[in-house]
Amino acid sequence: MKNKTIKKVDLIFEQVDHLAILDKTLNRSSEEIILDIIDSGLRGRGGAGFPTGLKWKFARNEDSEQKYVICNADEGEPGTFKDREILTQVPEKVLTGMAVCGKAIGASEGYIYLRAEYNFLLPMLHQKIDTFNNVLKEKKFDFSVAIRSGSGAYVCGEETALMESMEGFRGEPRNKPPFPTSKGYLGKPTSINNVETLVFALMIANLGPKMFKELGTFDSRGSKVFSISGDTPSAGIYELELGMTLEDFVNEFGDGDTKAVQIGGASGYCVARKNFKSTVIGFEGIPTGGSMMLFNSSRSMYNILRDYLEFFEEESCGQCTPCRIGCQQLLKGVEAVKKGLKPPSYLENLQRLSETMKIASKCGLGQSVGNPFNSIINNFREEIIY
Amino acid sequence: MPTKVLIYIKVHIINPTKNFMTRIEQFVKEQADYYGRRRNSLMPILQAVVQSERYLSEEAMVAVAEELDLSTADVFGTASFYTFLDTVPRGKNIIKVCKTITCHMKGKDEIISTIEDQLKIKLGSTSSDGRFSLLQANCLGWCHKGPVMLVNDEIYTEITPEKTVEVIRDYLKKTK
Ligand SMILES: Cc1cc2nc3c(=O)[nH]c(=O)nc-3n(C[C@H](O)[C@H](O)[C@H](O)COP(=O)(O)O)c2cc1C
Ligand code: SF4
Ligand code: FES
């Protein structure tokens, strides 16, 4: 069978005249801007995939003097590194995307929450932001951007934890609802969007929704920036059309010996070779914030699972019991099975525990630990036991 | 009944050191002047202290609490949440080797043992001359170029044991 070639796209990294797009957008009404984004079908690129146009609409419809735009540049999901590259290569597009969002929802302040691991970007970003803020002032558009830094906590990428952190508290996720669009940063309506989402929104504001809709599938419109790592001869950052099968993906990026692919980072799913053909990368199949990790047959899936669990055990904020204790027990549990201290059937207990974590945890971190856990155990049970 | 006369004596406890500010207190005050004294100024101020001192001493946290009118426990409670806001002394240069999955696959263990040998320190500790701390961190966002490490804010990608030795040697020269 001949394989489809994967379509490479260049919307994100293409250099554009961002000020011309800004002028064009500032002359439109916020309804028009939002309708275009809704029509395009753009969904959040940070992982959760919420429709961006709707998010903006909710924030816009809130009656409040003060609203905020936040650009989520916390990028902590293992295997994800595209936001750093976007901020490095096209910072003006990110800033302009924030201004477009500000115009759409009626906010006058925007913040970039940048993870501390990317502090080396600060001097460059500060300079770009100063210039940009001055331009906005000249244009008499009431909006300005500032940066806030993280301090090495993965959970602060979760939107409400990020806001707690910006407010000066421990980065512990809040209960939802209320959602940030009604009560976000400092209790005000806030639209929080991933770096990549904001750039796509800018490109849709520039080129119209049609070109975006023509890419991808019904559920997964457009393209997406992928962070590809692991056992691959072509590790790196690629913008690809959504809706490809994993088989096509592996044919393009694998090393010929790919046994599994982890889609969506540590909190995503592990797909084994036998399912490559039937797996679609996108919201109708397995969604991803961009992380694609390839493993070839030289890798021990036990080590990989252990690494993931260790990651979650360290990064759990500890606020709720199912996640705090659950992460520890899953890690201890698989180690015990591996060492023969517990029988293989103990894995079923652990899988039940991970189901409980999915139901009872407060935020996406605890809720998604079961994704890698169950998908690795179901596909590679022997490797975990022996 | 005799009337009781209560005499209140106001005692001023004079703290001889309180008239001048220590260097840290002065630094914290400057940061508070710059970032403001509201709750959402807390993180930027703590980050500035760590940037300059490499960690948050008790003295620094007390000073921050005083400037922002918070309890010291609250300041410590917030700081202790964040891996990069250390509350134990760290070296002038902080090395953070990425330990997460792809860097693990690409040989971070070898990098760590190379640095341990070169600096004669164990993972997680600080050299006795206070020049280096060697730590691990979770995914640093360069997985396509693993293994990677941060030295302070500087990133080093696709490092080999040989390259690591060179990088550390440069820092040894730079830091007296
Ligand atoms: C534990 C956890 C970590 C997250 N980390 C990030 C992140 O680093 N970057 C990001 O954009 N979204 C992250 N998210 C998703 C955000 O909560 C939020 O959905 C997203 O920023 C919304 O932007 P979007 O709609 O443009 O995707 C994380 C979610 C969870 C539960
Ligand atoms: S699920 Fe985990 S990370 Fe999320 S609030 Fe609960 S303990 Fe914290
Ligand atoms: S795993 Fe090391 S940088 Fe991502």
Strand partners, A149: A114
Are residue B119 and residue B168 in the same domain, yes or no?
A: yes
Are residue B107 and residue B144 in the same domain, yes or no?
A: yes
Q: What is the pLDDT along chain A (386 residues), one digit of tens a residue?
A: 445 678 899 999 999 999 999 999 999 999 999 999 999 999 999 988 999 999 999 999 999 999 999 999 999 999 999 999 999 999 999 999 999 999 999 999 999 999 999 999 999 999 999 999 999 999 999 999 999 999 999 999 999 999 999 999 999 999 999 999 999 999 999 999 999 999 999 999 999 999 999 999 999 999 999 999 999 999 999 999 999 999 999 999 999 999 999 999 999 999 999 999 999 999 999 999 999 999 999 999 999 999 999 999 999 999 999 999 999 999 999 999 999 999 999 999 999 999 999 999 999 999 999 999 999 999 999 999 99
Q: Do A79 and B102 touch (CB under 8 A)?
A: yes
B40 touches chain A (CB under 8 A): yes
For the cut 60, the answer to whether the pLDDT of residue B18 exceeds it is: no
Atom of ligand 1 nearest to the CA of A363: 31
Amino acid at A185: Y
Domain boundaries A301-380, CATH class: mainly alpha
Chain A nearest CA to B6, separation (Å): 46
Are residue B50 and residue B118 in the same domain, yes or no?
A: no
Are residue B140 and residue B101 in the same domain, yes or no?
A: yes
Most A CBs within 10 A among B31, B61, B139, hence the mutation to make, goes to: B139
CA of A38 to the centre of ligand 3 (A): 34
- Residue A342, judged by CB atoms within 10 A of its CB (0-12, 13-18, 19+), counts as middle
Are residue B168 and residue B97 in the same domain, yes or no?
A: yes
Contacts of A80 in chain B (CB under 8 A): 139, 141, 143
B162 touches chain A (CB under 8 A): no
Are residue B97 and residue B77 in the same domain, yes or no?
A: no
CB pairs < 8 Å spanning A and B: 117
Q: Do B101 and A227 touch (CB under 8 A)?
A: no
pLDDT digits (tens, 9 = 90+) for B44-68: 999 999 999 999 999 999 999 999 9
Residue B77, domain member (yes or no)? yes
Q: What is the pLDDT of residue B8?
A: 53
For the cut 90, the answer to whether the pLDDT of residue B175 exceeds it is: no
Residue B8, domain member (yes or no)? no
3-state secondary structure chain B: CCCCCCCCCCCCCCCCCCCCCCHHHHHHHHHHHHHCCCHHHHHHHHHHHHHHHCCCCHHHHHHHHHHHCCCHHHHHHHHCCCCCCCCCCCCCEEEEEECCHHHHHCCHHHHHHHHHHHHCCCCCCECCCCCEEEEEECCCCCHHHCCCEEECCEEECCCCHHHHHHHHHHHHHHCC
Contacts of B138 in chain A (CB under 8 A): 76, 78, 154, 311, 314-315
Are residue B147 and residue B127 in the same domain, yes or no?
A: yes
CA of B15 to the centre of ligand 2 (A): 45
CA of A294 to the centre of ligand 2 (A): 28
Are residue B101 and residue B169 in the same domain, yes or no?
A: yes
Pocket test residue of A311, A315, A317 for ligand 2, highest count of atoms within 8 A of CB:
A317
pLDDT digits (tens, 9 = 90+) for A57-88: 999 999 999 999 999 999 999 999 999 999 99
ipTM: 0.94
Of B39, B144, B155, the CB nearest to A167: B39
For the cut 60, the answer to whether the pLDDT of residue B10 exceeds it is: no
Q: Do A169 and B39 touch (CB under 8 A)?
A: yes
Residue B15, domain member (yes or no)? no
Residue B13, domain member (yes or no)? no
CA of A116 to the centre of ligand 2 (A): 21
- As for how many domains chain B has, the answer is 2
Pocket test residue of A117, A159, A192, A367 for ligand 1, highest count of atoms within 8 A of CB:
A159
Instruction: Give the pairing type, strands A269-272 and A258-263.
Output: antiparallel
Whole-prediction pTM value? 0.95
Are residue B99 and residue B52 in the same domain, yes or no?
A: no
pLDDT digits (tens, 9 = 90+) for A264-309: 999 999 999 999 999 999 999 999 999 999 999 999 999 999 999 9
In the listed set B53, B81, B109, which residue is the last one of a domain according to the structure? B81
Q: Are A240 and A282 in contact (CB under 8 A)?
A: no
Q: Are A317 and A251 in contact (CB under 8 A)?
A: no
The residues spanned by each domain of chain A are: 18-213, 223-296, 301-380
Residue B107, domain member (yes or no)? yes
Q: What is the pLDDT of residue A227?
A: 97
Are residue B73 and residue B30 in the same domain, yes or no?
A: yes
At residue B2 the predicted structure's pLDDT band, cuts being 50, 70 and 90, is low
Q: Do B43 and A168 touch (CB under 8 A)?
A: yes
CATH no. for A18-213: 3.40.50.11540
Q: What is the pLDDT of residue A5?
A: 73
Are residue B66 and residue B124 in the same domain, yes or no?
A: no
Q: What is the pLDDT of residue B13?
A: 53
Residue B53, domain member (yes or no)? yes
Closest to B38 in 3D by CA, of A142, A174, A169, A149: A169
Q: What is the pLDDT of residue A1?
A: 41
Q: Do A235 and B144 touch (CB under 8 A)?
A: yes
Q: Do A151 and B145 touch (CB under 8 A)?
A: no
Q: Are A365 and A357 in contact (CB under 8 A)?
A: no
CA of A155 to the centre of ligand 2 (A): 8
Range of the domain at B118: 93-174
CATH no. for A223-296: 3.10.20.600
